[in-house]
Structure 1
Amino acid sequence: MRTCRASAAGKLTVVLATLVLVVSGCGGGPSPRAWAASVCEALTPWRAEINKLTSSTHQQMTAQTTPAQAKENLVRLFAGAEDASEDARRRISDAGVPETDHGDEISRGFRTSLEKIRDAYGRARDTIDRLGTAQPTAFYDGVQAAVDTLNKEYDASALDTSRLNSKELKQAFDEVPECR
């Protein structure tokens, strides 16, 4: 069970790195610097909340807990991560579309990636919430399956940066203080 949470935390790091490094956009909105600052302002508290929730649940799960306690802790973790992901998605949506080539596609990519992450957490929460706790082995097998699915969904939610290449946004993400 301990390796599941470590795996999920590792996947989170990959998703965050992808989100922060992705850059490119299309005109009519905030400057690349303003947009990058808004994105980083949205992702910084999200990352902190995900890390806090993951750490807290890991500590609780490595302690002697019953399946019922573990279920409560995991449901709370995934609900908190789902809420934090939606808040970050909403804040990025509120940031608008950066004034750069492919800005709409970039902005949509960030939002879509966070939607997929949010939904993955919601499905993990619902799956674990439906698990019975009377048989510990069956419960923990179900948790393992839910975390495995969450990891796969994280992989699938990664932002595709292969077609996005804006020097302006790359520079903005490198330079604005909010992204450091």
Structure 2
Amino acid sequence: MRAVRPISLALVLVLATPLSACSAQPGPQAWAALVCTALSPWRSEIDSLTSRTQQQMTTKTTPGQAKENLARLFDGAATASEEARVGVERAGVPDVTNGDAIADGFLGSLAGIRDAYGHARSGIEALAISPAKTFYDEVGKVVERLTEEYEKSSLDTTKLDSVELRQAFDSLPECQ
């Protein structure tokens, strides 16, 4: 059996490292599919929570019940947003120009949305439930702040710097 020479081994390692780094980055179609798959349950959960929050805002409940329900809804949205962020993080960095910045943009958006829901939960939990009118006025302010923070962080795939990713997001069924 022939021994591997140290220089040959070093050459193999030097050449293998860039190749493995390239192969670790998913192409535009694969990355978009991974991202959309991670975001799909999140979108459904956010839609459901948004609907339930609107119902809470119009349904006659006691301030204590409303406070508990809204805190639970916002906590669920924060948790769902973090799960989506982790899923997008697992997708890695797309093999496109500015892939790092694009992936970071998605992660930053989801972290911002997660934080917006967390702030809303904290805001609701901090409210006094009496007097009722004041409580509901303050809930309105918390929801306004949530909306502002959410809009600042929202995902906008139309502003991607990559034509390949934009095409992938537009064409994949899991992204529709």
Corresponding letter in the other structure for 2:110: L
Unpaired runs of 5+ in structure 1? 1-25
Q: Distance in 2 between matches of 1:81 and 1:97?
A: 25
In structure 2, which of residues 146, 164, 171 is the aligned counterpart of residue 175 of structure 1? 171
Mark the CA change 1:32 to 1:161 in structure 2 (over 3 Å): closer, same or farther.
Answer: closer
In the TM superposition, residue 161 of structure 1 has moved relative to its aligned partner by 7.1
Hey, what does 1:138 align to over in structure 2? 134
For 2:147 and 2:57, how far apart are their aligned partners in 1?
A: 18
Partner of 1:76: 72
Deviations 1:83-133 (CA, angstroms, capped at 9, x unpaired): 000000000000000000000000000000110110010011001011111
Runs of 4+ in 1 over 6 A off after TM superposition: 160-163
Q: Is 1:112 paired with 2:111?
A: no
User: Which residue in 2 is equivalent to 1:40?
Assistant: 36
What is the CA-CA distance between 1:170 and the residue it aligns to? 1.2
Structure 1 residue 163: Cα displacement: 7.2
Give the CA deviation at 1:162: 8.7
TM value normalised by structure 1? 0.79
Q: Distance in 2 between matches of 1:86 and 1:72?
A: 21
What's the counterpart of residue 48 of structure 2?
A: 52
Unpaired runs of at least 5, structure 2? 1-21
Q: Which has the higher contact order (CA 8 A, sep 6+)?
A: 1
| 1:31 and 2:27 aligned | yes
Task: Give the length in aligned residue pairs.
Answer: 155
Distance 1:49 1:160, change over 3 A: closer
Residue 118 of structure 2: aligned partner: 122
Q: Is the 2:102–2:160 contact (alpha carbons within 8 Å) kept by the matching residues of 1?
A: yes
Q: What's the secondary structure of 2:161's corresponding residue?
A: coil
**What code does the residue aligned with 2:93 have?**
V
Question: Over aligned residue pairs, what C-alpha RMSD do you find?
Answer: 2.1
1: distance between equivalents of 2:23 and 2:97? 6
What does residue 12 of structure 1 align with? none
Task: Name the larger-Rg structure.
Answer: 2
Match of 1:148 in 2: 144
1:61-84, CA deviations, whole angstroms, 9 ceiling, x for partnerless residues? 422211111111110110000000
- Aligned amino acid, residue 158 of structure 1: S
TM-score by length of 2: 0.81
What letter is aligned with 1:107?
A
Name the amino acid aligned to 1:116. Answer: G
